[in-house]
Amino acid sequence: MLAGCNSSPIATPKPTGWIQDEVADSYVFAYPLVLMGVARDAAVGSGPGQAPFNTLRHAQALPPVGAANRPTPGVDTLDSSAWLDLSGQPVLVSLPDSRNRYVDARALDMWTNVLWSTTAEQTGARVTGIKAQTVAFVPQGWNGDLPKGVKRVDVPTRYVWLNIRVQSNGGRDIAAIRKLQRAMRVAPLDIYTGAAKSSDEPRSYPAGDMPVAGTPDSQVAALDPKAFFDHLAQLLPDNPPAPPDPHALSILADLGVKSDAPVQFPSGADSALAAGLAEGRARVQTAPTNVLTANGWSWFGDGVGNYGPDYGLRAYAAYAQPGIGTKDDEVRATATLDNDGHLLNGANRYVIHFTPAQLPPVRGFWSITAYTKEGGLDDSETAHVAVGDRNGLRRNRDGSVDVTVSSARRKAANWLPTPRGGFQLVMRLYAPKPQASDGTWQPPPVVRQ
């Protein structure tokens, strides 16, 4: 008995369940910022499809067919984008009068909150274009003067993602769009006012394919716990949470994640860290309960674009629809199943029947496009074809609309071509009315014939 009293006590492993839970919660909280950081790094530079900070890249052709680096690329618009760096001074964005051509410009902070958009500011029954305007994105703490007539937008993060979409009416329309693109301007305040000279001649950079390392979401998904939270720690000093969340930062500190410092995880917690990351990744990729669903379609409701503390919705929106705007900018509904719950396949024929009261409620326009299961455009001559209210849509006598969906060419009006195998549908509502996002409106099912 005395010998037993003199033996060394057995070490009891410390519980690590709390680590798994906090890693999962922190992953969901931090995902949009890390994703935006990876997207910024992929887009800024001098390589293919890249441009320096505060410089526009212009798409000058419809997106390529086949596998897409950007999932479900739109065929209704040509996009221009820029990453703004607000370090030290405002950056000004000037847009020309679009002369009744639909233009949607929006700016997101590094947490994917929408700071400003042209569509959200427009009132009236229809949105047909924008007037000439200049907007200044102003960093926190800056108190200088802006040129007369410039709209001020205060930004809580150092970096801003600007995206400008211009309505396209097909290949013959490219020259008119390029003219609008050349009239767009992005410049820091001192260069805009002439107080400083740009080191380069003003020029735009054509948009191209992203580097072959993969899409931003696939790059983030490949990060292990240390790499993910190292990214976060590096991004936090310039891009604090909006709204401020000391509780979330406190949880990160418990895990050894602090702003601009090497991550120091608790020792002996490798399994809990890996399990927490896997759980967080699964939560990011799973639609939360406040995503709207009906008749096989899913889409975002009123909370999108300005998330507050709804970190689950914010993370899923960043994952599912990068760069998504507010409920006033766009509603994008996705369908992968028919009315019987079977996966959509181009070997079948489907009909989407809109009653007169069921047509998409928009102040702009709407369209439906078919993509491969992976989100690319089918490699065919009809890949860029979309059906919508600006493409000669034919109505039935009672005002209803039937859209025929199949891979085989049909003589039926409103034929939407699809890939030959599995596919998905995306219905876009540009400048939607309130009923599109408050649950009042529901798109009809995709009915197999």
Q: Would you say 360 and 366 are in contact if contact means Cβ atoms under 8 Å apart? A: yes
Better pLDDT: 17 or 117: 117
Q: What is the arithmetic mean of pLDDT over 337-345? A: 97
Written as six digits, the tokens of 421 are 């195998």
Better pLDDT: 152 or 380: 152
pLDDT number for residue 419? 94
pLDDT number for residue 300? 96
Main-chain dihedrals φ then ψ at residue 185, nearest 5 degrees? -140, 140
Q: Which amino acid is at 34?
A: V
In a 10 Å sphere around its CB, with 0-12 CB exposed, 13-18 middle and 19+ buried, how is residue 391 labelled? middle
Better pLDDT: 61 or 97: 97
- Sign of the Cα torsion 106, 109, 113, 115 reads negative
Domain ranges of the chain: 17-38+215-284, 55-68+76-206, 292-448
Q: Would you say 288 and 316 are in contact if contact means Cβ atoms under 8 Å apart? A: yes
Residue of 161, 155, 151, 152 whose CA lies nearest to 130: 151
Say whether pLDDT at 123 is over 70.
yes
> pLDDT exceeding 70 applies to what percent of the chain?
92
Residue of 394, 225, 290 whose CA lies nearest to 403: 394
pLDDT number for residue 206? 62
Measure the CA angle with vertex 185, ends 180 and 191; round to 5°: 160
pLDDT category at 13 given cuts 50, 70, 90 is: very low
Q: Is 144 left (phi over 0), alpha (psi -120 to 50) or beta?
A: beta
Say whether pLDDT at 1 is over 60.
no
CA dihedral 323, 308, 310, 306 (to 10 degrees): -30
Q: What is the arithmetic mean of pLDDT over 370-375? A: 93
Q: What is the arithmetic mean of pLDDT over 30-50? A: 94
State pLDDT tens for residues 306-333: 999 999 999 999 999 999 999 999 999 9
DSSP code of residue 238: T
Say whether pLDDT at 138 is over 60.
yes
Is CATH 2.60.120.600 the right assignment for the domain spanning 292-448? yes
Main-chain dihedrals φ then ψ at residue 443, nearest 5 degrees? -70, 150
Q: How far is CA 200 from the centre of its chain?
A: 30
Written as six digits, the tokens of 366 are 């709407």
Q: Which amino acid is at 121?
A: E
pLDDT number for residue 213? 62
Q: Is 146 helix (H, G, I), strand (E, B) or coil?
A: coil
Pairing between strand 103-108 and 114-117? antiparallel
Written as six digits, the tokens of 384 are 């860029």
The 10 Å CB-count burial string (b at 16+, else e) for 341-354 is eeebbbebbbbbeb
Pairing between strand 151-155 and 159-167? unpaired
* Mean pLDDT, the chain, whole residue set: 90
Is CATH 2.60.40 the right assignment for the domain spanning 55-68+76-206? yes
Say whether pLDDT at 346 is over 90.
yes
State pLDDT tens for residues 255-278: 999 999 999 999 999 999 999 999
* Number of C-beta neighbours around residue 243 at 10 A: 11
Question: Residue 95 belongs to what H/E stretch?
Answer: strand 91-95
